[in-house]
Each structure stands twice: as structure tokens, then as C-alpha cells.
Amino acid sequence: MLTLLPMLATAQSDNLWLNFKTMQEPYVFYFTSKNATFDVIRKELSSVTPNLYTAKKQEKASFLVLDNSQNPAIQGDGFVINADEKNVKIEAKTSAGALYGVYEFLRRRKTGETVIKDLVSNHVYQIRILNHWDNPDGSVERGYAGKSIWFQDGKINFRSDIETYARANASVGINATVIDNVNADPKILSSQMLQGVKTVADRLRPYNIKVYLAVNFSSPAALGGLKTSDPLDKDVIDWWTKKVKEIYTLIPNFGGFLVKANSEGLPGPMDFGRTHADGANMLAKALKPYGGIVMWRAFVYNPQGGDRAKQAYDEFMPLDGKFDDNVIIQIKNGPVDFQPREPFSPLFGAMKNTQIMAELQITQEYLGYSDHLCYLATMWKEFLDYPTYHNGKTVKETTLNQKLTAFSAVANTGNMKNWCGYVMAQSNWYAFGRLAWNPDLTSQQIAKEWINLTLTNDEDAVKKISNIMLRSREAVVDYMTPLGLHHLMGWSDHWGPEPWCAIPGAREDWMPRYYHKAAADGLGFNRSSTGSNAVEQYQEPLKSMFDNPKLCPKEFVLWFHHLPWDYTFDNGNTLWDELVYHYDKGVKEVEAFQNVWTTLKGKVSDPVFNEVTEKLKVQLDEAQWWRDGCLLYFQTFSKMDIPFKTKYTFEECKAKLRTKSYIERQKD
């Protein structure tokens, strides 16, 4: 029987990146405010200095933390830092800004920067939010680090060290969290459950973290006993109005609702002949008196809707400009579903009169779970910086010029001791927070920070680990879904390769064969003007570029085109040659990561060294499995040679998929 890899957790990895450097300087502190957030500030500083002396007057202090600054450079919860070896001044206009400034100071000291002159740091997105797909029974959808940190047996029962979660988020500027799954249970809004949610909100509030809830659109009927959940029905409107009042009576700083509706079988306004705008605006009106918002997901598709990649655009573009001003449409980064690589969703830039936000995925649903090293900042930067050609704007810019701005990601936390199931997976939580605060940071900057804070300050080790991290996502794309292939994963749990899967009676657009279209005449999904015409949803010159296989970026060519096996690229390679090259290149990259990691013994802690060593063994085996399973299957159509001996036979690849996956092994 397969067993779970040992979790060689240490105090270092359990504490995430919060391993700040002790201060020996004889600072005398002065704080402008006395409140719960400044209690956190005092606690953080007390943990890194042996003696915390407090001055009664500001002018007698050498370490000032101010939340009453009049500095015009500071916006929102931003801050300014000026520091040398003898004096530190952290200015902000809010207590939250002061807290963020203190964390920035502590981070810079740990990474070796003790002199800081006129550092101005303002957040780019107002709402920087984690989406937890945790269920009341304690399970986590697409969770690979154990069970829920919030729920157990139908009740709120959060981790005893939940302050570590709060500190970690605040240290990178994350200021909001949705604690329950978008596939929401109506019971989350029960009065009993809301009492528990209040306890969570109270624990997170000093860290400037607001709680939001994902809600089921049918709650008025399922929970309230009404005959309908029609958003235009007076009784339904009244039910939501009363429920929102109940929530804000318990949680005055409640953030609002996240809604998944009319997608994957979940209920929504379209069940009653209404639109997404009707449903979102009804909830928005109930929340508005309290300052709450609605995040309405654009992840929608149905089995009769044609090309799944087009459906979100087709449903939401006719509604552009029809949403209330406290509604924001949450759009996945790509048009299908968090694939290792996708083109950006064409809704970015196209919806010019509607507030929009990006939804990323930290948890590695399609990227090898918490067994594979895959640093995602490079993926997210690729997405954010891609030009949409709507008024020359990048994807990032299309989400900013609006009243309400937000940036979200599906979390990868669980109740495992080290939070994420793999120390290297912690880097993606950290990277999301840093990019949500400042999306102009580079992937390399963020990687170096995280390594310094979490693993080591040894310069050679930092350089080597950073190099592995920066190459890791491309390696995963190569050994899983190169050249624009997508959704080849095991169709139910998305673990391992299953491009051959076709289950009679199952939804076609859940089956891998729907996406790769492998046949004797070639490979790839034709979304060009001769196929589903998904290219039509993009602005010129992207439309013409994606429409022409000679102009289409090679990394997207099989996303937009069905090409013959002997199609020749500009480098002289056929499609089959390129496919074989990329699959094998991904495997060779993991082998290279292993070789580099062996040189780091003694430069990182032994438990971390051993954990990563074991995980890389698993990753290499599964990379070989991916390469062999996909190439051997596609070879049945191409009839072309694989120029090396595979590790697995085709039958072994299919049999391996029937063994217990990572998430199932956890249950043992």
C-alpha cells in the first residue's frame, strides 16, 4: 500500500516566513495608538528585541511607529520607512499601514538591509484576498495539506495557531479571506455557524483581515424555507436583507459575499430566467448600507455551450455595464480552468464598464499537488504583464482603473503542521501576497526574499534555489502540457496524465479527449476562425496572431490550432519532434533540480534538505510518468518514433493512475 511521504516539518517551516532577525540595537519605542493592531505591533517587536522600552513622549524615542502621518505620499494603508542603525521611523495614516510598515522593516532586516531611506510603499489592490475551498465537514476541495484550518464536523473549529496564519497574511499585506468553499453549503449562513464565523473574524481583525463568505444562491429556499430563490422575488430580497443585517450585527467589518452561480450544476439566477446581473445586484443592494461587496465569479459553463473556453465571455459581455458599483466580477486568469499554461481570459480588457478582478490558484490542482516544486510567481507575472491591446493595457492595468480593485487566489493551506504540505509550496502563498501588494515586483525578487526568510542566507544556496524556482513552472508545463495542450489530467481528481480518458455518458467537456483532439490527422483544439472561433474574443493584433499557426506563439499553438503531426515549425522540427522534445526537456529539468539540490546539504536545515530531496524523487518519477503516458498515447495516432526508451510502458502508465493519489494517501 502506498503511504504518505513523511512530513519532516521543523519549527522553521511551521513558522512559514516569519523567522525575523533579533534586534540588538538599544531602541526606545513610541507608538501613537493603543488598539488591537498596535498590540500586534508591540508583540511582533517584543519577539525580536530582548528589551522593549517605551517612551512617554515621541521626541524621546528612537523607534517611532506612527499612524497619524500627514505625508501626502502615503495612500490608503501604505507606509513610509526611514531607518539607520540608531533610529527608525515608520509612518502611516492607518493602524493597518503601521503594521504593514513594521513587517516590511523586519523583512528587510532579515534580508540584510538595515539602512532604509524614504521608502514609500503603497498597495496597488484595495482587497487582497485568499479564497479557501474548505467545507464544513473539514474536507478541502483541491486541498493537498490535510484538512480544513477552519472547520470540523460541521462546525467552526480553527487551528489553535491561527495567529500564525494571520501574521503570515498581514506580513505580506493580505487583508481578506473567504473561509468556505465556492461550492457553498447553505448552512454556512445558519445562525449557529455565523456565531463561529464571528469568532474567526474577531481573531483576524487585529491583523486587518476581513472575513468574507461564499454563499449558495439557493439559500433562501434551502435554508430559509422559501418556495423560491428568485432574485426579483420580494420575499427573497427581504430574506437576504435580514440575513445581511444579522451578519453585520455580529461582524461589523464583514467584507461581503463570493458567489459561484449557474456553473457546474450550482444554482443561480438563470434558474429563474434572470441574469447574472440580476442576482449580483440583489445581493449588492443588501450589502451596500454596510459597505459590503459582492464578488461574482465568471467561471461558468454548461455542457451544451460549445467551446468551454468561450462561455464566460459569451455570458458576461452582454451584461457589461449592468452591475452595481459594489459588485466586482471575479475572472480566472485563463478561459478554461487554472491550467499549467493558458492564454489570458479575453474578458480582461473587454469588459470596459464593469469592475473586474483576477482569480489565481495557489493550490496546485493541475500542477502536481503538493508533491511538485512549482513556483507560480512566474506564471502570474506572465499573466499580469500580457498586453490585451485594449487601449494598450496589460491584464494588470485592466483591473486597476476602477472604483473597487481586488486580487484573489485559491489558498493552499491545511492542518498539516507546516501549513502547505511542502515547504516549497509555502513560497506561492508568500508570492501571491507580495504581488497583490505590488504586482510590479519581479519573480526573482520575491523568490530571493522568501528563500532568505525561510530557508537560508547563504549566497550560493540562495542563488541555486532561486534558479530552480524560476525554472520550475516551465518544467512542469513541459512534462505535462507543452505547446498549448491542456486538461490532460486525470479527469476526476486531476492527478496524473489521462489523455486517453473518455467515459461513456460523462460530460464531454470534462474529458481530456475533448481538449486535445488527438487523431490520425493531428493534435490540438481548433479555436481559430475555421474552428470554434475563440480567437474572435481577442483584440487585434492578438486575434490575427492567435488565428495564424505561423504567428501564434508556440506555447499556445495547440490551444488555438489542430495541426498535422508533420507540421513544420520555423526551427525545422515537426509537431511530433517538438512534442517529444518538450516532454523530455521537462523530465531533464527535474533531474537537474535534483542534482543542484544535492549540493545544498549543510546550507539548509537537515529536515528541509531531506523533505525536498524526497519530494524531488516523487516529482521526477511523476514527470517521467507524464512524459511516457502522453507520448505513448499520442504515438498511437502519430505512428512516429520516440527517440529514447521510456521508463514506463503504456499499460504501466494507465495502471499507475489507478493507484492511490496524493489526497487519498493522506486519508490512510
> CB–CB of 428/166 below 8 Å?
no
Annotated active-site residue in 365, 449, 578, 589: 365
In Å, how far from its chain's centre is CA 534? 25
What whole-number distance in Å separates Cα of residue 421 and Cα of residue 370? Answer: 6
> CB–CB of 257/330 below 8 Å?
no
Residue 337 falls in the annotated catalytic set: yes
Identify residue 533 by its one-letter amino acid code: N
Residue 264 falls in the annotated catalytic set: yes
Full 3-state SS string of 278-344: HHHHHHHHHHHHHCCEEEEECCCCCCCCCCHHHHHHHHHHHHCCCCCCCEEEEEECCCCCCCCCCCC
C-alpha cell at 486: 491542456
Taking CA atoms, 586 is separated from 414, 577, 590, 625, in Å, by 29, 14, 7, 11
C-alpha cell at 380: 502570474
Residue 342 falls in the annotated catalytic set: no
> CB–CB of 583/576 below 8 Å?
no
Taking CA atoms, 3 is separated from 636, 659, 661, 665, 666, in Å, by 34, 11, 10, 6, 8
C-alpha cell at 439: 504586482
DSSP state of 100: H
> CB–CB of 413/14 below 8 Å?
no
Full 3-state SS string of 444-506: HHHHHHHHHHHCCCCHHHHHHHHHHHHHHHHHHHHHHCHHHCCCCECCCCCCCECCCCCCCCC
Annotated active-site residue in 39, 84, 137, 264: 264
Annotated active-site residue in 25, 314, 324, 337: 337
Scan for cell 496572431, then name that residue: 545
What whole-number distance in Å separates Cα of residue 39 and Cα of residue 36? Answer: 5
Annotated active-site positions, please? Answer: 264, 337, 365
